[in-house]
């Protein structure tokens, strides 16, 4: 099959295997779906994208970074709601026994939109599968009843089976459970943010999209904490004129994916985006993808409908990039998580996750409060009574009353609070300030997906030669060093130049195998931005030829000036034309 009949996804995956970007893990045992191994070039590319994220969030914005365990006790994910909600619809083939995501199969076969599929119940999924004659893609067999499958990896912590743990499906919960200590690290000031880059695990039912859908992947979660009454969005002024391409929920409800192009400022004024910090992080995400080589017109932010949103989110947008095989693919998610996570962990752990805001002067107010009745709580909760009473006293009375009306009880973490355990009373109090739970916006990036879209937008063919035109600051190898021929002292001189560049901190490659044209072709295919060729003229005047990967133009300059010029070039301070004098045609 030639390049004319293969799509870009196939071509990139073949190139990735051959050149050592990535490949399916455990190949000698037949491979394991949803797991990949990064080779030398892929590891470097991924690390460079990570560095770009750290430069943006940690170095420039002052966001804290942590590294925490992948495995967590079950209680963490019970509190966060993942055990209850992190489930996907699955069907099993009655003929071959293979299992698949029911919603994915239906979208592919019936060409339904994600909006149409995500709201379906199991019964509705079953009827739609039968109506559209959706069959097993492996053997053509019919499917059984759809059922929900928990997509977290479950394990035991230590030798005791009752010590249940889960592999984290996101890096966010590590940040929430450590909030008290992190707030102290941030000098007890809002707003502040925390980032974690690390592996996450999701037991995907049928991953079939390469780097786009994995069972083990690298996630970048940023949790940004702020006071909802005083968000203090100090970045808004710098980014308010940045343009965002939005697909709004109201358009999706009409069956349209019309793009509304607005500035950050307009999106907030018109109420398209609920909080300033969310809009700011969406603008930063757009700029990041542009710097990875994805044009603005190939990006969009699509708003999730209520039944599509994660259980913790009040408003969510997915940043999507258009790719050749799959169409619009999510690369980052932007969720307004409100105070959901911190509140849940406070309820389940009994640890206070509130912060205190002092008023300019004390105020007397009348407020409705939840008054715990110790005589009722004590016999029921024994040693936990005091802790439960303290948390109950800080709960929103309206929320508690609403739960009593609807359910007849209120769940405080895993404790069922009956109406007779408390009184809802009004009282006058003098307050010096107030305790509140900070709100959170979360930009979350799939790093493996960023690697793939970077590869796809870098990939092109020129005169039947494959070129990976990576942005210069993320290229896995920065410079190739080549002797024109492998004789007459040219390899020795080239090796001197190579070692000098290595000592100066550049990522360089030395290559003297085959003709110079073949070496250039290999370098272009690996995405090396610059090639430095040592020729006979070098032996006379210590000058070298510098070749541009994308245009194949060449300039010439002294070896002695290379380190300074190349440092400026890879920091985007100068362009290729500034590296030397053009060679005469």
pLDDT tens digits, one per residue of 488-500: 999 999 999 999 9
First and final C-alpha spacing in the chain: 38
Residue 79 lies in a domain: no
Examine the domain organization and report whether 523 and 577 are in the same domain. yes
Region of residue 367 (phi > 0: left; psi between -120 and 50: alpha; otherwise: beta)? beta
The pLDDT score that the predictor gives to residue 584 is 72
Helix axis angle, 276-291 to 40-54, nearest 10° = 140
Cα Rg of the chain (Å, integer)? 28
Among 132, 150, 168, identify where a domain stops: 150
Examine the domain organization and report whether 490 and 407 are in the same domain. no
Question: How far is C-alpha 349 from the chain's CA centre?
Answer: 28
Q: What's the total number of domains in the chain? A: 3
Among 102, 123, 150, identify where a domain stops: 150
Q: How far, CA to CA in Å, does 447 sit from each of 36, 443, 452?
A: 13, 12, 9
Say if residue 420 is exposed, middle or buried (CB neighbours under 10 Å; 0-12, 13-18, 19+). Answer: exposed
Neighbours of 10 (CB within 10 A): 15
Q: What's the pLDDT tens digit per position in 420-434? A: 999 999 988 888 999
The pLDDT score that the predictor gives to residue 209 is 86
In angstroms, the CA 489 to CA 506 distance is: 24
**Block residue for tokens 């016999």:** 379
State the number of CA atoms in the 13 A half-sphere of 33 facing the CB: 11
505 contact partners, CB below 8 Å, separation of at least 6:
none
Positive/negative CA dihedral, 61, 64, 69, 74? negative
Pick from 72, 61, 335, 347: nearest CA to 194: 61
Question: How far is C-alpha 283 from the chain's CA centre?
Answer: 15
Among 127, 150, 173, identify where a domain stops: 150
What is the extent of the structural domain holding 503?
477-582
For β-strands 99-101 and 465-468, DSSP reports them as: unpaired
Examine the domain organization and report whether 431 and 501 are in the same domain. no
Give percent of the chain with pLDDT exceeding 90.
86
**Block residue for tokens 């032996």:** 539
Q: With 60 as the cut, is the pLDDT of residue 316 above it?
A: yes
In angstroms, the CA 286 to CA 306 distance is: 24
Q: What's the pLDDT tens digit per position in 160-200? A: 888 999 999 999 999 999 999 999 999 999 999 999 999 99
444 contact partners, CB below 8 Å, separation of at least 6:
170, 172, 219, 220, 221, 222, 332, 333, 334, 335
The pLDDT score that the predictor gives to residue 490 is 97
In angstroms, the CA 353 to CA 344 distance is: 10
In angstroms, the CA 186 to CA 352 distance is: 17
Q: With 60 as the cut, is the pLDDT of residue 4 above it?
A: no
Residue 216 backbone phi and psi in degrees, to 5: -125, 125
pLDDT band for position 473 (cuts 50, 70, 90): very high
Pick from 222, 221, 227: nearest CA to 191: 227
- Cα dihedral: 114, 116, 119, 124 (round 10): -120
Residue 512 lies in a domain: yes
Among 45-59, 91-105, 314-328, which is the least confidently predicted range?
Answer: 91-105
Give percent of the chain with pLDDT exceeding 70.
98
Q: With 60 as the cut, is the pLDDT of residue 74 above it?
A: yes
Residue 527 lies in a domain: yes
3-state SS class at 346: helix
Residue 164 lies in a domain: no
CATH number of the domain encompassing residue 521: 3.40.50.800
In angstroms, the CA 387 to CA 223 distance is: 27
Residue 530 lies in a domain: yes
Examine the domain organization and report whether 429 and 481 are in the same domain. no
In angstroms, the CA 472 to CA 470 distance is: 6
In angstroms, the CA 539 to CA 483 distance is: 11
Q: With 50 as the cut, is the pLDDT of residue 449 above it?
A: yes
- Helices (H) and strands (E) counted in the chain, each on its own, are 22, 29
- Cα dihedral: 461, 467, 468, 471 (round 10): -100
> What value does the mean pLDDT of the chain take?
94
Whether the bond between 191 and the residue before it is cis, its omega within 30 degrees of 0, is yes
The predicted model scores a pTM of 0.89
- Cα dihedral: 27, 29, 33, 39 (round 10): -30
Token couple for 391? 């948390």
**Block residue for tokens 């293969």:** 6
Whether 417 contacts 392, CB under 8 Å: yes
Q: With 90 as the cut, is the pLDDT of residue 251 above it?
A: yes
Question: How far is C-alpha 483 from the chain's CA centre?
Answer: 42
CATH number of the domain encompassing residue 116: 3.30.40.230
Q: What's the pLDDT tens digit per position in 567-579? A: 999 999 999 999 9
Residue 138 lies in a domain: yes
Examine the domain organization and report whether 482 and 547 are in the same domain. yes
Whether 579 contacts 548, CB under 8 Å: no
Q: Which residue has the higher pLDDT, 390 or 544?
A: 544
Residue 270 lies in a domain: no
Examine the domain organization and report whether 367 and 421 are in the same domain. yes
The pLDDT score that the predictor gives to residue 305 is 94
HEC string for 204-243 = CCCCCCHHHCCCEEEEEEEEEEEECCECCCCCHHHHCCCE
Token couple for 461? 């063919």
Examine the domain organization and report whether 577 and 488 are in the same domain. yes
Examine the domain organization and report whether 498 and 422 are in the same domain. no
State the number of CA atoms in the 13 A half-sphere of 111 facing the CB: 0
Token couple for 238? 């710098």
In angstroms, the CA 335 to CA 312 distance is: 8
pLDDT band for position 114 (cuts 50, 70, 90): low
State the number of CA atoms in the 13 A half-sphere of 102 facing the CB: 28
Pick from 280, 322, 326, 288: nearest CA to 302: 322
Q: With 60 as the cut, is the pLDDT of residue 5 above it?
A: no
Residue 482 lies in a domain: yes
């Amino acid at each position: 099959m030639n390049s004319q009949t293969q799509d870009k996804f196939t071509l990139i995956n073949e190139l990735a295997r051959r050149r050592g970007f990535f490949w399916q893990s455990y190949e000698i045992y037949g491979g394991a779906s949803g797991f990949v191994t990064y080779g030398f070039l892929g590891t470097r590319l991924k690390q460079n994208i990570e560095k770009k994220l750290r430069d943006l969030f940690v170095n420039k914005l002052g966001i804290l970074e942590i590294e925490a365990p992948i495995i967590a006790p079950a209680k963490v994910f019970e509190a966060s709601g993942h055990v209850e909600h992190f489930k996907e619809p699955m069907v099993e083939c009655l003929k071959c026994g293979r299992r698949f995501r029911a919603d994915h199969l239906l979208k592919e076969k019936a060409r339904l939109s994600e909006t149409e599929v995500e709201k379906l119940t199991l019964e509705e999924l079953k009827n739609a599968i039968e109506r559209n004659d959706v069959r097993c893609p492996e053997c053509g067999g019919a499917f059984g009843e759809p059922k929900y499958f928990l997509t977290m990896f479950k394990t035991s912590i230590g030798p005791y089976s009752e010590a249940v743990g889960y592999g984290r499906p996101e890096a966010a919960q590590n940040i929430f459970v450590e909030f008290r200590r992190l707030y102290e690290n941030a000098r007890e000031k809002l707003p502040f943010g925390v980032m974690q880059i690390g592996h996450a695990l999701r037991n995907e039912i049928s991953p079939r999209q390469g780097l786009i859908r994995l069972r083990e992947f690298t996630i970048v979660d940023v949790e940004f904490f702020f006071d909802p009454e005083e968000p203090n969005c100090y970045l808004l002024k710098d980014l308010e004129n940045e343009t965002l391409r939005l697909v709004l929920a109201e358009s999706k409800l009409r069956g349209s994916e019309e793009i509304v192009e607005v500035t950050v400022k307009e999106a907030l004024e018109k109420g398209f985006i609920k909080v300033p910090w969310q809009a700011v992080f969406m603008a930063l995400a757009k700029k990041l993808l542009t710097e990875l080589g994805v044009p603005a017109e190939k990006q969009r932010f699509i708003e999730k409908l209520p039944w599509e949103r994660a259980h913790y989110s009040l408003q969510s947008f997915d940043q999507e990039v258009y790719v050749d095989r799959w169409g619009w693919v999510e690369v980052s998610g932007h969720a307004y998580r409100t105070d959901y996570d911190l509140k849940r962990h406070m309820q389940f752990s009994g640890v206070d996750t509130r912060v205190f805001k002092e008023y300019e002067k004390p105020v007397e107010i009348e407020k409705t409060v939840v008054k715990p009745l110790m005589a009722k709580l004590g016999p029921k909760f024994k040693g936990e009574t005091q802790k439960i009473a303290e948390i109950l006293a800080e709960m929103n009375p309206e929320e508690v009353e609403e739960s009593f009306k609807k359910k007849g009880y209120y769940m405080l973490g895993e404790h069922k609070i009956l109406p007779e355990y408390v009184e809802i009373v009004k009282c006058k109090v003098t307050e010096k300030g107030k305790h509140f739970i900070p709100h959170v916006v979360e930009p979350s990036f799939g790093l493996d997906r960023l690697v793939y879209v970077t590869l796809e937008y870098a990939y092109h063919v020129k005169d039947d030669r494959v070129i990976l035109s990576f942005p210069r600051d993320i290229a896995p190898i920065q410079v190739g060093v080549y002797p024109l021929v492998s004789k007459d002292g040219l390899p020795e001189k080239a090796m001197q130049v190579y070692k000098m560049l290595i000592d100066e901190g550049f990522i360089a490659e030395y290559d003297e195998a085959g003709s110079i044209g073949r070496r250039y072709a290999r370098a272009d295919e690996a995405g090396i931005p610059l090639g430095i060729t040592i020729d006979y003229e070098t032996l006379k005047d210590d000058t070298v030829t510098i070749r541009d990967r994308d245009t194949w133009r060449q300039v010439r300059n002294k070896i002695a000036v290379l380190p300074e010029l190349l440092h400026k070039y890879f920091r985007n301070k100068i362009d290729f034309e500034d590296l030397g004098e053009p060679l005469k045609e």
